Amino acid sequence: MANLKELNKRKELLTGGHRMCAGCASPIIIRQMGLSQEVPLVVGSATGCLEVSTTPNPFTAWNSSFVHCAFENSAATVSGVEAAYRSLKRRGKVKDELRFVALGGDGGTYDIGLQSLSGMLERGPRILYLCYNNEAYMNTGVQRSGATPMGTQTTTAPVGKESIGKKQFPKDLTAIAVAHRIPFAAQASPSHWNDLITKSQKALSVDGPAFMNVLSPCPLGWGYSSEKTIEIAKLAVDTCFWPLFEVENGATWKLSYKPAAKKPITDYLKAQVRFRHLLRPENTAVVEAIQKRVDDDWAALCKRCGVEG
């Protein structure tokens, strides 16, 4: 587990003064991930909230080498950088020890960047791909993505007489990454900082690709007061809406956290404006369907991990 006294001595990956929204979880996640390493990181980020708000030309908030990638190819771009590094190191032209991180939001990972991500995981470079998952295309106006939960109100899945918001459940991207049988895959949350940092250490220590799917609450898109980001993230974990686990080599599953008392999904839904319509009596069946999916997925995860659900 991460040692807080040691972490305090390390250099922050992000400086202050970046232009992310107040309460945004993404810079919290990046700072926690960055504290996991003493060796320098080379970071590539897809276009999105994090990139446009931390690198407004000619400024940067990154205390590292940083590559701005297109929306769809963060994994491919960093793969090329990592391959160049290995080539230069073999020829003795580079002696420094470096680690490589590719970043993308859920839009640039679940959807438009999925092909690039899959190719990276299959080829096997030593890269951590971290998805900061705010469950919609937040940078361009809160449009639904493949990560958006069922019943969410977005600008492209509005709520009305004929619509409950998004009609589909989100795809299970973590399971897709696990299916590539990569050395390490995990889900994490900024509410459990020690778990996130420890998983980042593991992910960057394996000799091959790693994938981390990290829930990233968004005050603007989700509809809650900015000071409640960590509270919302913890609710997602305690309702088992966003369970914390890790998988090694596509086969060894480990549950990272089990709530002492699993909370009902309504506790999570009622805390966010994007779900408020689901609390109307006519949408009771939708809430029940969401709760059933959460319960079924939690039971299946516990079985894989060999613990009682």
Tell me what the mean pLDDT of segment 8-32 comes to: 93
Q: What does the chain look like in DSSP terms, one character per residue?
A: ---HHHHTTSPPSB-TT--PPTT-SHHHHHHHHHTT-SS-EEEEEESSHHHHHH--TT---BSSEEEEEPTT-HHHHHHHHHHHHHHHHHTTS-----EEEEEEESIIIIITTHHHHHHHHHH--S-EEEEEE-SSBGGGT-B--TTPPTT---SSS-EETTEES--SPPP-HHHHHHTTT-SEEEEE-TTSHHHHHHHHHHHHHSSS-EEEEEE---IIIII--GGGHHHHHHHHHHTTSS--EEEETTTEEEE----SSPPPHHHHHTT-GGGGGGGSGGGHHHHHHHHHHHHHHHHHHHHHHTS--
Each domain of the chain, given as residue ranges in start order, spans: 4-305
Q: Give yes or no for residue 83 having a pLDDT over 90.
A: yes
Tell me what the mean pLDDT of segment 95-122 comes to: 97
- CATH class entry, domain 4-305: alpha beta
CA distance 158 to 161: 10
CA distance 166 to 248: 33
Residue 177: pLDDT band with limits 50, 70, 90: very high
Tell me what the mean pLDDT of segment 44-65 comes to: 95
Q: How confident is the model over 223-272, as pLDDT tens digits?
A: 999 999 999 999 999 999 999 999 999 999 999 999 999 999 999 999 99
Residue 17: pLDDT band with limits 50, 70, 90: confident
N-terminal to C-terminal alpha carbon distance within the chain? 24
Q: Give yes or no for residue 190 having a pLDDT over 80.
A: yes
Residue 215: pLDDT band with limits 50, 70, 90: very high
pLDDT at 11: 86
Q: What is the pTM of this model?
A: 0.96
Q: Give yes or no for residue 7 having a pLDDT over 90.
A: no
Q: Give yes or no for residue 2 having a pLDDT over 80.
A: no
Amino acid at position 154, single letter: T
